[in-house]
Amino acid sequence: MTAGTANRLFSPAEPAEALENIKQSLAEKRPIIPAGRFSRLGDWSRRPAFGADFVAAGNLNQIVEFNPDDLAIRIGAGATPAELNQILEGTNLFWPVRGVHLENRSLGAILNEGLSGDEVRRYGRMLDLLMGVEMITPDGRRIKTGGATVKNVSGYDLTRLCWRAAGTLGFVLNVTLKLTPNLETKCLAEVPLADPAVGADLAEKIILGRLGAESLKIIHNQGWFLTVGLGDFREVVDLRKERLAAILKEAGLAYEIYDDPGYYSRPEMVLCSSRTESARARRRDLLNMVRSLAGRKDGDFYLEADITGEMARFRSLPDRFPGVVVDDVNSAGPVYRQLKNSLDPEDIFFPLPLMTKRPE
Amino acid sequence: MLSMNLINEFKAVVGPENCRYHAIDLDLYSYDSSPFVYQPDLLLFPRTAEEISKIVKLAAMHGVPVTPRGAGTSLSGGAVAKAGGVMIITTRMDKVLELDLLEETVLVEPGLVNLELQNYLKPHGYMFPPDPASQQASTLGGNIAVNSGGLKCLKYGVTKHYVKGLEMVLNDGRIVRTGHLALADEDGGPDPSGIFLSSEGTMGVITKALLRITPLPADTIAVSAVFDSQEKSGRAVSSIIAAGILPAKMEFIDNLLIVAVEDYLHLGFPRDAEAILLIEVDGQGPELPRQMEDIAELCRKAGALSIQTAQTPEEQDLLWVARRAAGGVLGRIKPAYLPHDIAAPVSKLGTLLTTVAEIGRKHGLLIAKSGHVGDGNIHPELLYDPNDPEETERAKRVFTEVGLAVLPLGGTITGEHGVGLEKIEFMVHEFTPDELEFMSQIKKTFDGRGLMNPGKILPEEYLPSLTGERK
């Protein structure tokens, strides 16, 4: 790492330009930091004397290939889910990895951070809707893997290489994504809760009762709420509303239904800031965490526990969550490092996450 | 050939009852469901990951190749021991270890048969969606190793979409856990599961899998739609997808198969039909009749001659028996066939079907076509008589031509069978040298000496040699 030299920013508009930029950085052995459009690099990118090359995907946000009959689109990694869904307007298709928290994330960043949308239970993670990737490898090769077919088992599945790799295993140029036909209708049920434990029990009941909720969240934002997202054909949503009403009636809880809510996230819960922390855990652990937060003073924290998505986003908590149980076996780390050491032996691509200490 | 001393060392790991090396046993395991025949030197039936770890360590120490195998249903030669050595057969590791309905996951051993898992989940109201045609025999370890598909992939996706975590034994004997089986820190961290999925046993041996399960649909409706041209059936598929309808299954069979299936099952399929689409929708129930009416209307508009709804669950089952029988009934026409499983974007499917038919006509070879048309995956089966050397050679040439025909359409040479040995010749056509080099680098990361299922997936010049160098 060339400490003491200035950072450089590349914003390639074409894959060939990105390749040229990255080859230049590799030749000069400067650390490469892949960045999205609204990247969370935050204060790191403003450090003047770090000497890294930031390669931003923001200008790589064009459609590369799109045929609605294929239920697939190939698009630059710098596009955001909101932009993608705008492109799809009028086609009867949409991209289901969406939510308030993803509004300003580029697709490449969502892939590299391993994020999920509000409707993860029904449609899966971005990884599950990723059909192909074109990327630049840590040794400067431009490779393409996968394509516009759901089924493809030819060779090693390199499409999944960058999932949660935080930009350490290459620079994503564009992605081929599986699209979904528009839902006929959707609604959001919001249940105010006096006690989070009641919400946790209800959430458990809804999952075990196979209500078919697309989204199930326990939210703390000036009070506790359970939100249940329902979307499908009209008849199915009506059926699910009836079943949900019966469950809530039995629990003696009032609720409100919002038709066509847009996202299942609550707009005021925009938690994409550098102060945001997130946790992944099993549903059971998230529910136990929610239960353990009972009695905490209102207003001292924000929480959005996505039970079906197995993810919690929280802000302004003075301490780490109590009650998130984590497994002490983690052998995936060494396997990943083995891969990283082999593909990027000089640790050029985004060395920061692998450092034990952030650069001063 | 392994020395008796070494065989005894392996035997000591698994116990004599789980070790076989008599000629007749070795012969039996020389085959999978492909035409490739290679004999292993030793068969081991371990019962735990720890035993597999010891086997792999011992094999590494002596430079012995290791071929992992489930039920041996690979259609591409993935489960034969090309370089001999030790074959690790996981069929005695066949338990469901944990069912967690709140997490909607099931933890299984790799030797559990796909259908046995389905039967286990059914009373709980759940299913594991991937349902390859071999589901009565194929194991989940094998399904994961080749990322199996099946009939329901358009709506439900393929095996990799249901793997939440893996436990694997790597080539140095390490037992590693990935994904949710290794969830350890709040940030999650990188998840290397992806590269192990569909690696066909070339990077390690799967010893446990945490699988996502989904609720069984409350109801299903199935229809068969008859067409007098394949092109019209293709048009129907496109219009159904364009209308935003995602059938659980949308299958195609051509005239050659229609006649063969009809001769076998007597379902009343018109023998002069050029194509039949078998379509099933599933869901909660009340929405299904409306969906199926829309599908029927779109088929009619595309030129369907008749549309018949299965009236009872038994009739529905028969439709899928007919579809799954497509491979077997070909024996009525010719004694052997070369199976392809090419896949193309749905918008190119019509072109692909026409091209394949033209190739068959040009070479005077019968090609039966069936496929999961909703996801663009078709199975042209090249019929030939292995006792006729000229026809056999011709079939091989046609196999190559059909495989190459899918690539300019943006498709792939294998949608669900895997590369194994059978499709290696196509790899240099589907991928650039840079892409193959990168795959080679990944293979070498986890198997630098090329001992894990040698000779598979990559062309020889991209495989590591026993010394760890490129050949």
pLDDT per position as a tens digit, B110-158: 999 999 999 999 999 999 999 998 999 999 999 999 999 988 998 999 9
State the DSSP string of B360-385: HHHHT--EEEEEEGGGTEEEEEEEE-
CA distance B19 to chain A (A): 30
Q: Choose the closest CB to A160 out of B194, B432, B444.
A: B194
The helix (run of H) or strand (run of E) holding residue B44 is strand B42-44
Enumerate residues 73 to 102 of chain B having a beta carbon within 8 A of any beta carbon in chain A: 100-102
Length of chain A measured in residues = 360
Full-model pTM? 0.92
Tokens 């035409």 belong to B35
DSSP labels for A226-294? EEEEEEESHHHHHHHHHHHHHHHHHHT---EEEES-SSSS-GGG---STT-EEEE--HHHHHHHHHHTT
CB contact, 8 Å: B178 with chain A?
yes
Subunit contact B161:A93, Cβ cutoff 8 A: no
Select from A67, A280, A331 the Cβ nearest to the Cβ of B186.
A280
DSSP, collapsed to helix, strand or coil, labels residue B282 as strand
For residue B439, the chain A residues in CB contact (below 8 A) are 155-156, 158
pLDDT tens, residue order, chain B (471 aa): 899 999 999 999 999 999 999 999 999 999 999 989 999 999 999 999 999 999 999 999 999 999 999 999 999 999 999 999 999 999 999 999 999 999 999 999 999 999 999 999 999 999 999 999 899 999 999 999 999 998 899 899 999 999 988 999 999 999 988 888 875 443 456 677 888 998 999 999 999 999 999 999 999 999 999 999 988 998 899 899 888 889 999 999 999 999 999 999 888 899 999 999 999 999 988 999 999 999 999 999 999 999 999 989 899 988 888 888 887 888 889 999 999 999 999 989 889 999 999 999 999 999 999 999 988 999 999 999 999 999 999 999 999 999 999 999 999 999 999 999 999 999 999 999 999 999 999 999 999 999 999 999 999 999 987 544 433
- Show pLDDT as tens, one digit a residue, over chain A (360 residues): 444 466 788 999 999 999 999 999 999 999 998 888 765 554 444 444 467 898 999 999 999 999 998 999 999 999 999 999 999 998 989 999 988 878 788 999 999 888 888 888 888 889 899 999 999 999 999 999 999 998 999 999 999 888 888 888 999 999 999 999 998 999 999 999 999 999 999 999 999 998 989 899 998 887 899 999 999 999 999 999 999 999 999 999 999 999 988 777 665 544 433 344 566 778 888 898 888 888 776 566 778 888 887 777 766 554 544 433 333 334 567 788 888 889 999 889 887 554 433 333
Q: Which two tokens stand for residue A334?
A: 């060494």
Q: How far apart are CA B71 and CA B418, in angstroms?
A: 15
Q: What residue has token string 């489930």?
A: B70
Is there a contact between A157 and B195 if contact means CB atoms under 8 Å apart?
yes
Task: Find which of B176, B295, B413, B421 to mutate to test the A interface (most A CBs within 10 Å of its CB).
Answer: B176
Rounded to 5 degrees, φ, ψ at A337 are -65, -35
Give all strands (DSSP E) within B148-236, no chain letters: 163-170, 175-179, 204-212, 214-215, 219-227
Nearest CA in chain B to A207: B102
Which one of B187, B243, B445 has the shortest CB-CB distance to A339? B445
Please tell me the distance from the alpha carbon of residue A186 to that of residue A234, in angstroms, as a whole number: 8
Strand-pairing partners, residue B43, are B20, B87
Q: How far is A80 from chain B (nearest CA, A)?
A: 22
A205 to chain B: which residues are within 8 Å by CB? none
Q: Nearest to residue A132, comparing CAs of A112, A110, A149? A: A149
